[in-house]
Amino acid sequence: MKIPHPNPPTIRLAFVEDDPKLREDLQEFLGRVPDFALVGACASAEEAIASLPELRPDVVLMDINLPGLDGVVCVARLKEMLPKTQFMMLTVYEDHDRLFRSLLAGASGYLLKRTSPSQVVSAIREVHEGGSPITPQIARRIVQHFQTAQTSAPGAEALTPHQRLFLDQLAKGYRYKEIADNLGLSMDGVRGNVRRIYEKLHVHSRTEAVMKYLGH
């Protein structure tokens, strides 16, 4: 369903949610945020795949448990058609398997539905700016998995302790500017770390690097 907006502000936003009441609540709430232009509200993955490429949103909120195709598959298909669009999962599921599947499909953030409305708004702005917002409960699960995972990816044994610490920051969803501040690096130093880590792990993206390092 296309939602007209006379003066589109900074962030063109769409969401995919099959629950009619929640869809109505999201539409009402997000439509009132001054810097959002709500351009689409879809009830299924199939509807999203058919309508969102034409609407070209900047950010899409995606439920996972949808009728027919699930949200992870929907993100994977839409990402091919909308490579510049940022996808953020908004779901009840806390397990890291769905989180990793979502990231591999192309999602950049993962929030639980019990996240407060103000935090959802902040996360939308963050993912639009290049961040990777993740609900704290989910971030804790990633850290726990990271602490117990056996690193067996080709090239991982060649990583220095500093590079492992850098990857730890990536796995927690920090943006490059935050990693620079946390580790006392310049942005040139961050870019150099990224380049060397990609070369050692034989990957081409942040998500691939994190997944390989965590053994997925």
Given a cut of 70, whether residue 215 has pLDDT beyond it is no
Query: What span, in angstroms and rounded, lies between the C-alpha atoms of 126 and 92?
Result: 21
Given a cut of 70, whether residue 203 has pLDDT beyond it is yes
Structural domains of the chain, ranges and CATH numbers in brackets? 11-135 (3.40.50.2300), 149-213 (1.10.10.10)
157: tokens are: 């044994």
Q: 12 in helix, strand or coil?
A: strand
Query: What span, in angstroms and rounded, lies between the C-alpha atoms of 6 and 22?
Result: 24
Taking only the tens place, the pLDDT of each residue in 141-158 is 666 665 555 444 555 667
Give 62-98 as a DSSP string.
Answer: E-SS-SSS-HHHHHHHHHHH-TT-EEEEEES---HHH
Taking only the tens place, the pLDDT of each residue in 119-145 is 999 999 999 988 888 877 777 666 666
Residue 212 pLDDT:
77
Can you list the positions of beta strands (E) in the chain?
Answer: 11-16, 36-42, 59-62, 86-91, 107-112
Mean predicted confidence (pLDDT) in 175-188: 84
Considering the entire predicted model, what is its pTM?
Answer: 0.65
Give the total residue count for the chain. 216
More confident: 172 or 147: 172
Share of the chain above pLDDT 70, in %: 84
User: Cβ(64)–Cβ(91) under 8 Å?
Assistant: yes
Query: What span, in angstroms and rounded, lies between the C-alpha atoms of 182 and 165?
Result: 10
Residue 155 pLDDT:
59
Phi, psi at 87, each rounded to 5°: -110, 135
More confident: 170 or 26: 26
Indicate the pLDDT class of residue 213, thresholds 50, 70 and 90.
confident
Given a cut of 60, whether residue 99 has pLDDT beyond it is yes
Please choose, from the candidates 111, 115, 116, 120, the residue with its C-alpha nearest in 3D space to the C-alpha of residue 91.
Answer: 111
98: tokens are: 């769905």
Residue 20 pLDDT:
93
User: Cβ(143)–Cβ(166) under 8 Å?
Assistant: no
Mean predicted confidence (pLDDT) in 164-180: 80
Given a cut of 80, whether residue 83 has pLDDT beyond it is yes
Taking only the tens place, the pLDDT of each residue in 45-82 is 999 999 999 999 999 999 999 998 889 889 988 998 99
Q: Write the CB contacts of 175 (distance below 8 Å, at least 6 apart in sequence).
A: 126, 129, 130, 131, 132
User: Cβ(13)–Cβ(38) under 8 Å?
Assistant: yes
Give 144-163 as a DSSP string.
Answer: HHHHH----STTGGG--HHH
